[in-house]
Chain A
Amino acid sequence: MPVQVAPYPTVTDALVAARVLCNDAAQSILGDILASNQPFVLPMCDLAHKTLRKMLTRAGVNTYSKYGFVSNLVKVATSDPTVQVQLSYTGYFDGITERASPFLPADLVEPLEIWERQNGTINSWQPVKQASDSISTRAQVASFGIWDWESDILYLPGATQANDLKLKYLYATPRLTDSAQQIPIADCEMAMGALIAKILSQSRGGTATQTFQVWAESEVGLLISPTSRKEQYGAYNRQPFRGTRARRRR
């Protein structure tokens, strides 16, 4: 009985595609140059995956965002209104003290949207606005209200109560380290295969590199088409200049 799997291809699936494209499956679908035991194969897949992700991201495919939660950002430890608290990958700065927790999700690349509520409550989440430039000085209140992302640190104004944060963020995809590992992009075998083939051919001085590049772009184009069509059907509210970024309510 087939196992229940996600619509994501595995690294092996991508490799099979690459072998076929490279004529490396002429003897066996397990490949020769692209055999799983070749030392460069998984890194090559990983690289191809990164490239594919970038290409997709560049094309606006949001496949790589997700939600996360950070709890108990304690109240600011000083009443100085100019002091900002900082949430980093390594801890939380309360204005006076560097605390080991809470900290940012490890796979967070960049926050897209942030919501807050008082710690320990079941209040609804209130949007926290992204600073268009920087966080200006204001009197300390119970909520953060505004955030800024600089140098991979989330800056918030000091709040007078402990709050929790809900984040939508671009996450760093996991590295492809195993041939059985799934690639979190549906139907990406051909794109991956073409990219792998392109990398392989390019690295070996093959004259087919450009062919594979074109092939890969074509496949990426095919991948982003559904997203484009989907967003064309969505409702968008144009924000004024320096306003908040266009986003949907969550």
Chain B
Amino acid sequence: MAMNASEGYNQALSLFSSLYEDMAASDLPEGLSPDNQDIVYLPGSVGTRPAFNRTLSQPTPEPTSDTMSLTEFAMPSGEFLRIWLYSSGNLWQQPSTGGSPTQLGSITVGSRFCSVTAFDKQWFAFFNQNLSNAFSQSPFCGADVPRYFDGQNVWRVTQDAPGVPPTFTEVPTLPVGLAQTSPTGTLSVTTVVSSGAKVFTIQVPHHTLSEIIYTSLTYTCTGAVPLTWLNTQITVTGCTGTNSSLANTTGMVIAISGSTFTLGVGTGSIRVNLTSQSGTATLPGNYFTRSANIVTAYFGSTNLPNFQAGLYAKIFNLNNSQINGPNWTITAIARDTTGLVTVTISTQLTNLPSGTLLFISATDTTDFPPGYHQVFQVISATGGTTVFTISDPTWGNGAVATSSGGSVYQTWNGTFQILSVGVDANSNNFITYFQLGPDANLTSTGGTPQAQLEAQIPPGPRSAVLMFESVNGAITPASVPIQLSITGGPNLLSAQDILIGPPGTAKRIIAFTPAFGSSFFYVSPAVIPSVAGVSPVLSLGTIINDNTTTTAILDFSDSQLVAGTPIDVQGNDLFNQIVLAPCLGCIEYEGRMCWWGEVNNLKNLSNMGFDGGYNAPVGVCDTNGTAVAWDSGDLFSTFAAGASIVINNISYVVQSVADRQHLTLTTSAGVQTGVTFTLYSPTDQPPPGWTIPPGVFGFATLVASDSANLGFAIELFGIGGSTDGIIVQPAVQDFFGAPIVVPSSSYLVRLQAKRIGSSTVGSLVVDLFSPSTGLQITATFPRAGMPTGSLGWMVAPFNAAIPSTLPSDTLFRIYLNGVLNTNRVIVDELSIIDASKPVLFQQLRVSYFDNEFGYDQTTGVIGIDSAAKITALLKQRSYLFALTDGPMYQTQNNGQTEPNGWGISNFADECDCFGPNAVTATEDIAWWAGRSGWKVFSGATPKKISQEIQPTWESINQSNPTSIWALNDPEERITYLGVPRNGATKINFILPMSYRSVDAAYNVPDPIHTSYSGKMIATDLCRKWTRWNAPMNCAAMLTNPDLSRQIYFGGQDFGNFYSLNPAKYTDDDYGQIFSFYTTYFFFNHDIEQNAPGLGLHRKLDTYLSAYVTGVGQIQVTPLVNNLNNPWGPIPTAWDSVNQKWIPSGSPTGMPLVPLTLANLLNDLEWPLNVRGLRVAYKFAPVPLAGQTDAAFLLQHLVLTAKQDAVTPVRGSNL
């Protein structure tokens, strides 16, 4: 029977649409596919998917690791960083523009992250079902400490409050005597000439005016001018002759040359060319000088203890007499009809500002009673006189009056805020402060001038707390408060023992209550510059702007304090702020960070992460080269090697520590004796907030944690005892009286630990112990089960529930039991978890507004009233939606309250989500995957759009749901879903859904719709599913160097991640792509009924032609009647032994046809001899021998068939 296209029915197929499994394959309408894989859809065609193209050059940082998670950080600089997490737990980054990958840190092995870019940082919630199984029956919870990346380092999102507040003392201040400046002296001036001439020209009509201005005066003296006069104020007097008043002046020596000096006259430039003046130049030695309202007070060589800008100093004469300036003679004083008094004095003042307070003592005491008055306006200051006005309607009788005689002076004493402290070129210590007044020097005060610091802080009781602030502005919870009793006045408040924060700490903040107050505030340092005759204001603040200072003088007024930042108000309550436990996921919403799946640990134990700072040893030492010997104060820390030590204000690095009194530096400190030191090492001390009970042995010390940016850990030393290295803290009530451990409850202990030392004997014990009753409830961590390399998470339950009555002296203790000498255990991230509810499944933890580091125990909580567990969050049009393993909830920022005041309501039922990464939201549309299917959501009803692949969906292994990921590629308009199928525990399939032919992302029509006549029809304008065999653990949209965006997939086993490259036809690392596309089963019943010679029963397919291009060869396989019945002829051979024809070998497919990427001149053709009721055609590319490249693109096909003339029915079921 010749197989050709004659006498047959021909049908063309150019619609290659979605995989559709949820309908019997035989019933699928024309254009749908009952089976396909590793293909992509284009309108009118279908072909092999692009190959996975490795991103990292070989060898990758970890060539055998899985890439567990992948994300992109769009840095504020405009740079894009690719960040990925290996199965080893190592976090890496690489700029999108290339370069060597850099390791950012380490997380627990096998973890994944949920990440989001917000607040110019990249945030990470880490989850790991293997870890969380140890304490939670549900996988929807976090496993490791939440972290963020700031572009430089990875930090914890939150950390412990300082373990203890500073201690405070009051430092009495003593008066410090002022001293006249040095040098002093007198020189005879023989001549004075104008200098610094500048010619000014002015264009006026018809001619040009020019004038010479002299900016300085040069004096010639009888002898050499001391160079020490340079930059000092001197006064020239005694000059006579024309314009001598111009020569008799006070000014700054701006140049010295031999026997001449030059005074700058500045704005008082003169137009007269002085010549041949003579007189005396005097460098008097000033107590005070004032220039432009800034007074400089001089102290000679006297040290100024505690004097610093921002503090206030009282200026006074020792005998309490007033410090008055020179008397200026009143030549005229008159009050006009408006009451304005005009005063003329016989002295030409420089820079007399309005507002200057002057004591005016006129001869006419009737009209002008003596008293202090402020200058209202300066009329003139020229020609040896100064005219100014006083506007004071209360002065005198107000009558119009004219008089003369009397004097005016200014009082210099008072209390002023120090603007600066310094030493001038002549070694005069000085302070500056603001006082309105003319430029002047005061060489005498009429007494012994003094300056004494004066505290602004009002007397009375108050409280203080300490917080750490990180380099990124993260402020920790407040320490427990300490009460102070302030006397103020001449006593300065000094903070002592200010804890040094963990790595990443940039500042320490001390907050106070006002005197007799209860609310806490802190004050940021600030400078309000001087304007319009008003003094500048320096706010010293209560922030220590470093992480090294251990003592500080603090001074503020209560008005300053309460104008500062409150820390115990809604929205910033550092007393209610918590350390965020491991969380499942994170998202940014309306200026807040939101987390969920948080481990339910006790929040009000102290310093459980051991990051509550440390006390830096401070003392006195001697140095001799690199050798340092302790003299007094705190002993050296034993494990301080590598730490920095500041000796006499110079920083060095400790190379080794011989004992607690001797250490060696890496560089020489010279020979010094009795110099101060501060050693920045946390070792040799228990963590603040914990105490060591008296009479115990062993040793506990802070040490650096595995990862520096995770702060400190605690190291316990065993000596074979039963409570070695014990540290304790209260377990019943916290500082504020709130309960900690709740009676009748059960708890688990979770911590990170590792053992050091070869012995596996003994254990780490965490217990609750009452000294009075002997109650002891223990959780035991055997050393034998501890890792030895890196810290590893461990969980152990307490061996009994908490009794209904808990003794008030119950302590929370941690120690070693039976651990042999020289063996140690390092512990970190200690937490006590409620065993009955180990995870806050129904709760969102939301940060304060615009404070991504602050999470409130009460107001930062949004809870759902359900047993469902929150698995993911998404935001859409200002709403925040919580997806669970059941219903879906909706909440919204109400703009008025903290999150606990926001309403949350059930939005829809049965629209569950697999996990934090199983949701993808772009274009204001969200998609997510859950047990019930793949949902699309635009704010209305969630819509399931995966029914057509329901059999595939049912093959998803849901035992590790948080590993499932989803991502939308808005550019290619494909959503991707990574799932483990068919019992696999790792992702082994990607389920892409193309919606590129759909008008809107939300409007993704079903691949089948019903015609007006009720027939099922498939079109190209629909969603299209397929399956990719791809072991990809994660995916992310990443930015390419050319700023285009593209999807990348994190793969297994090769430590790489991959883009899709349509120009490649073999997957990097994973090899051949086994793609295929199966058409629908020809022919649909309509065609069968209407086509001549086709019939409804068996047909004989006789010819196939198709436009197929690609690489390799194309294998066409007819699938007869069902998908599992490939038409594979078996060769026939003659059995010469048994003398008969027999089948020989395996079924053979149709002949392979070579493919080309070029345009085809003719369609490819296949003669057929295929009989069946219905036949689908499977197109699969096959590589050439010895190659792996195989890809196809099918655009069109035509099938010829006719009714089976011999057996239109088989007549049998065999």
Contact = CB atoms under 8 A, between A and B. Distances in A.
A and B associate:
yes
Nearest to A201: B1206
A27 B1128 contact: yes
Interface in A104-152: none
A37 interface: yes
A195 interface: no
A97 interface: no
Contacts of B1141: 13, 16, 29
Contacts of A10: 1140
A58 interface: no
B1205 A28 contact: no
29 contacts: A1-B1137, A2-B1137, A5-B1139, A12-B1140, A13-B1141, A22-B1207, A23-B1, A23-B1169, A23-B1171, A23-B1206, A26-B1129, A26-B1169, A27-B1147, A29-B1132, A30-B1130, A33-B1210, A35-B1214, A38-B1212, A38-B1214, A40-B1212, A197-B1206, A201-B1205, A203-B1211, A204-B1207, A204-B1209, A204-B1211, A206-B1204, A207-B1205, A208-B1206
Interface residues of B, number: 30
A3 B1208 contact: no
Interface of B: 1, 1100, 1127-1130, 1132, 1136-1143, 1147, 1169-1171, 1203-1212, 1214
B1206 A27 contact: no
B994 to A, nearest CB: 36
Contacts of A30: 1130, 1143
Contact of B1207 (A35, A37, A201): A201
Given A23-B1, A206-B1205, 7 more contacts: A3-B1137, A23-B1171, A29-B1143, A38-B1214, A40-B1211, A201-B1205, A201-B1206
Contact of B1139 (A3, A33, A37, A38): A3
A27 B1206 CA distance: 16
A38 B1211 CA distance: 10
A200 B1169 CA distance: 19
Given A197-B1206, A200-B1206, A2 B1132 contact: no
Given A27-B1147, A201-B1207, A2 B1136 contact: yes
A206 B1207 contact: yes
A201 B1204 CA distance: 10
A240 interface: no
Contacts of B1100: 23
B1142 A205 contact: no
B1209 to A, nearest CB: 5
Contact of B1129 (A28, A38, A197): A28
A216 to B, nearest CB: 14
Most chain B CB inside 10 Å of its own CB: which residue of A5, A40, A208? A208
Nearest to A204: B1207
A31 B1017 CA distance: 37
Contacts of B1203: 207
4 nearest A-B residue pairs (beta carbon):
A29-B1132, A204-B1207, A28-B1130, A208-B1205
A59 interface: no
Centre residue among A25, A27, A30, A207 by max chain B CB count within 10 A? A27
Interface string A26-56: 1111101101011110000000000000000
Contacts of A24: 1206-1207
Contacts, number: 84
A204 B1203 CA distance: 12
Contact of A204 (B1138, B1143, B1170, B1206): B1206
Nearest to A209: B1206
A235 B1208 CA distance: 52
By DSSP majority rule, is chain A's interface helix, strand, loop, or mixed? loop
A206 B1147 contact: no
Nearest to A27: B1129
A13 B1142 CA distance: 10
Contacts of A28: 1129-1130, 1132, 1143, 1147
Given A22-B1207, A204-B1206, A207-B1205, A39 B1130 contact: no
A29 B1211 CA distance: 19
B1140 A13 contact: yes
Contact of A33 (B1142, B1143, B1205, B1207): B1207
Nearest to A25: B1132
A205 B1212 CA distance: 14
B188 to A, nearest CB: 132
A1 B1139 CA distance: 10
A64 B396 CA distance: 165
A54 to B, nearest CB: 24
Nearest to A5: B1139
Contacts of B1127: 27
A200 B1129 contact: no
B439 to A, nearest CB: 114
Interface in A38-83: 38-40
B1139 A2 contact: yes
A14 B836 CA distance: 79
Contacts of A23: 1, 1100, 1169, 1171, 1206
A205 B1206 contact: no
A105 to B, nearest CB: 31
Contact of B1171 (A26, A40, A197): A26
Contact of A39 (B1, B1137, B1138, B1214): B1214
A45 to B, nearest CB: 15
A208 B1203 CA distance: 11
A207 B1211 CA distance: 15
A39 to B, nearest CB: 7
A29 B1145 CA distance: 12
A4 B1147 CA distance: 32
A26 B1206 contact: no
Contacts of B1128: 27
